[in-house]
Amino acid sequence: MPYSLRDRVAHYTSLDAPVGFEEPVLAAAREELAECCERVETDMRGNLYAYQTGTEPNAPRVMITAHADEIGFMVTSIIEGGFLRFTKLGFPTDMVLPGQRVRLHVGGRGIEGVIGVKPAHILSAEEARQVPALTDLYIDIGADSLEQAKSWGIDAGTPVTFVGELIQTDNDHRCFGKCVDNRTGVVALLEIAKRLRDEPCAASVVYVIAVEEEIGLRGAEVATKHVQPDVLFVLDTVPSGGTPDLRADALPWDIGKGALLKVREVKGLSTQRPLRELVRAVADEHDIPNQWIVDTAGITDATSAQQASGDIAAMVIGIARRYAHSAVEMFDLRDVQAQIDLTVLATSSITSLEALKRL
């Protein structure tokens, strides 16, 4: 495996794994987790579990999770001329779709395509200002007929992803590429597992690479019921502010300023107070850059996981990303490192459930 954090993220973003087709990421993560955990297993849903036993038998059980899936598309039909109609997997941003490169995944091979766009030369002024409806969009794979497209193995249900390698900007810390959400979280989880193998903590830790986050936080709910943890850390990304098209108070956090510590999510998670105070104290003690946020932009697996097991302390330790759910998302590698360091130290600080009780 590549050594640098940037190269590791580049490797995992290069794997195409849309919702329901997460196997490439699960297989790569399983190989790494097997080297630093005592036991690795999967469930029928597709979630991947890896176990490390803590040094104290009565210490809490901590679950650390990141989701494997990325946003994408799925073919719904082939029409005359060999063009493909499609639907969305998750919630890609409609306004960026026309003209984007995509890749279809058929029998272990990729078929390149592009989402068609009407020539600018013949657009009316009104059309030029509109976002085409999803039902009007199509994918062009270069086929010259419906029959040829079918002969390539394409059918309804064929998964599709954006195309694009991870790009290093002239800022040594900042990169952009597809599916930064949530391959940075997957890489962070793998690095945390290696650190806690070498520096065992009191708590037993279960690492979960979850599936189907982008369509309703589904895999993590199943996984949490399976693991029954006392404490849960979710590693994910959060839509970022800091760009000219947003008011300063719309999303008042940005890339490059440290890990994101959530107080709450807009339609779900309310972070357990003693846990968030513990994590913030650890960050302050070790000078780990962090941003204390109330997330008004979205939700993560922490929301479904918290409710799946009623007796649980849950928290998101995230990073900010710009251009969420587009074909390219930008992030800062220093934030990922802060996410790793803080999760390792916070997990090592959890030695008793008594310290996490609210009363």
Q: Is residue 262 part of a domain?
A: yes
Tell me how far apart the alpha carbons of residues 77 and 195 are, in angstroms, rounded to a whole number.
47
Tell me how far apart the alpha carbons of residues 275 and 232 are, in angstroms, rounded to a whole number.
10
If asked whether residues 203 and 156 sit together in one domain, one would say: no
Residue range 321-333: mean pLDDT, rounded: 96
Last residue of a domain, which of 99, 132, 162? Answer: 162
Interior/surface letters 254-279, b for 16+ CB within 10 angstroms, e for the rest: bbbbbbbbbebbeebbebbeebbebb
If asked whether residues 77 and 45 sit together in one domain, one would say: no
- pLDDT tens digit string along 70-85? 999 999 999 999 999 9
If asked whether residues 304 and 227 sit together in one domain, one would say: yes
Residue range 285-312: mean pLDDT, rounded: 89
Q: Is 147 a catalytic residue?
A: no
If asked whether residues 49 and 135 sit together in one domain, one would say: no
Q: Is residue 172 part of a domain?
A: no
Q: Is residue 225 part of a domain?
A: yes
Per-residue pLDDT at 57 exceeds 80: yes
Tell me how far apart the alpha carbons of residues 308 and 228 are, in angstroms, rounded to a whole number.
9
pLDDT score for 1: 39
pTM of the model: 0.95
Q: What is the CATH number of the domain that holds 135?
A: 2.40.30.40
Residue range 340-350: mean pLDDT, rounded: 98
Q: Determine how many CB atoms are found less than 10 A away from the CB of residue 34.
A: 12
Q: Residues with Cβ < 8 Å from 306, sequence gap 6 or more?
A: 232, 268, 269, 312, 314
pLDDT score for 327: 95
Coil, helix or strand for 18?
A: strand
Q: Is residue 197 part of a domain?
A: yes
Distance of CA 352 to the CA centre of its chain: 30
pLDDT score for 358: 86
If asked whether residues 264 and 146 sit together in one domain, one would say: no
- pLDDT tens digit string along 11-36? 999 999 999 999 999 999 999 999 99
Last residue of a domain, which of 97, 130, 162? Answer: 162
Tell me how far apart the alpha carbons of residues 19 and 262 are, in angstroms, rounded to a whole number.
25
Range of the domain at 139: 73-162
If asked whether residues 225 and 332 sit together in one domain, one would say: yes
Per-residue confidence band for 131, with pLDDT thresholds at 50, 70 and 90 = confident
Q: Is residue 168 part of a domain?
A: no
If asked whether residues 277 and 300 sit together in one domain, one would say: yes
Per-residue confidence band for 2, with pLDDT thresholds at 50, 70 and 90 = very low
Q: Is residue 30 part of a domain?
A: yes
Q: Which of 32, 213, 221, 265 is catalytic?
A: 213
If asked whether residues 285 and 347 sit together in one domain, one would say: yes
- 305 near 224, Cβ under 8 Å? yes
Q: Is residue 170 part of a domain?
A: no
Q: What is the CATH number of the domain that holds 326?
A: 3.40.630.10
Tell me how far apart the alpha carbons of residues 180 and 312 are, in angstroms, rounded to a whole number.
28
If asked whether residues 207 and 294 sit together in one domain, one would say: yes
User: What average pLDDT does the chain have?
Assistant: 94
> Structure tokens of 325?
């759910």
The answer, yes or no, to whether the previous bond of 171 is cis (omega within 30 of 0) is no
Proportion of the chain above pLDDT 90, given as a percent: 83
Last residue of a domain, which of 162, 189, 207? Answer: 162
Tell me how far apart the alpha carbons of residues 134 and 50 are, in angstroms, rounded to a whole number.
39
Residue range 290-307: mean pLDDT, rounded: 89
What's the total number of domains in the chain?
2
Residue type, 265: E
Q: Is residue 83 part of a domain?
A: yes
∠ CA(170), CA(259), CA(202), 5° rounding? 130
If asked whether residues 238 and 198 sit together in one domain, one would say: yes
Per-residue pLDDT at 10 exceeds 70: yes
If asked whether residues 109 and 247 sit together in one domain, one would say: no
CB-count exposure of residue 13 (10 Å: 0-12, 13-18, 19+): buried
If asked whether residues 57 and 81 sit together in one domain, one would say: no
53 or 267: which carries more pLDDT confidence?
Answer: 53
Tell me how far apart the alpha carbons of residues 159 and 111 are, in angstroms, rounded to a whole number.
11
